[in-house]
Each structure stands twice: as C-alpha cells, then as structure tokens.
Amino acid sequence: MEITNVTEYEAIAKEKLPKMVYDYYASGAEDQWTLKENRNAFARILFRPRILIDVSKIDMTTTILGFKISMPIMVAPTAMQKMAHPEGEYATARAASAAGTIMTLSSWATSSVEEVASTGPGIRFFQLYVYKNRKVVEQLVRRAEKAGFKAIALTVDTPRLGRRESDIKNRFTLPPNLTLKNFEGLDLGKMDEANDSGLASYVAGQIDRTLSWKDVQWLQTITSMPILVKGVLTGEDARIAIQAGAAGIIVSNHGARQLDYVPATISALEEVEIILNYKHQFLF
C-alpha cells in the first residue's frame, strides 16, 4: 500500500500491531470525547486563501527557545516506541534531525537519553514525569543535560493516569522484551501485570501526586536547562507558569489520554496566547 497521507498509517498500524499495543497508542481516556474533539476542532478551522502572491520561495523556519527549526512542527514525546518497531526512538531521533526539527524524548522511552543522543546530532528536549523519589528525578535530569538535551518538558497533567478503558480491558503492560530504559538500573524499568492496566498501577506507585507550582521552581535549582510546562489548557495556569519561572508553555490535553471532556488543544490555544506576554514561548 502506497502511503499518501499521515492518517493512512493508522490503518496499517491496526493491521500489523498486536491489539494491546495498537489500542495503547490509539485510544483516549474514558468516553474518548476529547479524542474525537481534538480532530473535529481542527476540521472547523478553515483557510482564508489569498491569491496572486509570489510563492516561488517559501520559508517556514522558526525558532523555539532560540533554536532554529525548519518548520513550526516538532515531534511530541511518545512513550514505548519500540513496541511498534525495533528501532523505536532511534528512528524518530534520526528522522527529526533529518527534517531539521526538535524531538522530545519521553521519560518512558524504550531507549535511554544516552542511546538517543548517540544516534547523531539534533536538537532534543526531554519530557519529564516527577517520581516520588526525587533523587531519581535529579539523576534523570542531569543525565539528560549531560547527553546534550536542551530543555525539560515537565508534564503536569498526570498526577494519576487517565482512565484508559482499552488498556484496562487489554490488561496493558510493557512487553517482556522491553524496559523503560531510563529507569533500567533503578528497579523501575519494568511494569508488573495488574488486574486492570499495568501502566496505571505503575503510575499510582511511582508518580508524585503532590507535584505543585513550587516544583517548577525546584527544577530550576537542579538544572540550567529551560523548563517548559506541558499540559496547560487555561489562561490562568499559563500566567502562573510564567510567574513560576517557566521558559515556555506546551498547550496540551495529553492527546486526550488524561481527562476526558476537556477542550481540544487547538481550542484552548487562543485563551493561553492572549494571557501570555509576547516575550515568552508557547508551544502547541
């Protein structure tokens, strides 16, 4: 089958991947209303084409945190990519570099920060979940910085995992041949089987539910990398994030995988943009 647009990958993935793996990548939380709304909201945004403009030379380059990229599109953090392909995050890192844009590596990658850095040059950010054991967090942040990562994308919308019903039905767990590579030497790289979702049980046991705005400031004491707050959907939180010292905002509803019946990310963007001072970065 010849691929002519991005959506066709989904049909191929459904055909080729084990059901548990496909459902993990493809599903949202609860009724999946926001999952549908994420796409529907884009469909309601229409072009207003202007004509008779010289388009023989088009420049889509832009800058994020001072880094020049080829287009206003970045690769968002996606966990456990080796479930889909043996190359996993290696391939994503090489592709992002070749495209001249930024890859954000997930904390829950199946390749470590060091392994991804070894794939070659490229601008890379690191997505961070804050564990109850803050020494683990400090160690991971310092490893990312040492490996050449340029920013931390702090996920703030996951004090507990969203109720992903497909994962519950499938008793989702990480396949036995894979580990969460960044945690492999800390006895945190494996997921135990559970009566519902193994990932939900892992999050309940490890992720710090006390995470608050003061921790944005705490992170700034352990790294010189800029902190991006990922998971903002309101203007009020955008303002607080900047006041807490965040270098930028990532407007996100976590791919509709956390709290259902929240606005589509694109619908929340305008409110956040209005609140933010023009001097600060925000990402969608």
- State how far the alpha carbon of 199 is from the alpha carbons of 95, 159, 265, 280, in Å: 28, 13, 24, 34
- State how far the Cα of 257 lies from the Cα of 140, in Å rounded to an integer: 24
- The angle subtended at Cα 210 by Cα 221 and Cα 133, nearest 5°, is 65
- State how far the Cα of 155 lies from the Cα of 250, in Å rounded to an integer: 9
Residue of 254, 255, 257, 276 with catalytic role: 254
E strand map for 174-254: 227-232, 248-251
- State how far the Cα of 201 lies from the Cα of 211, in Å rounded to an integer: 18
The residue behind tokens 């203007």 is 235
Active-site annotation holds for 280: no
- Which residue numbers are catalytic? 254
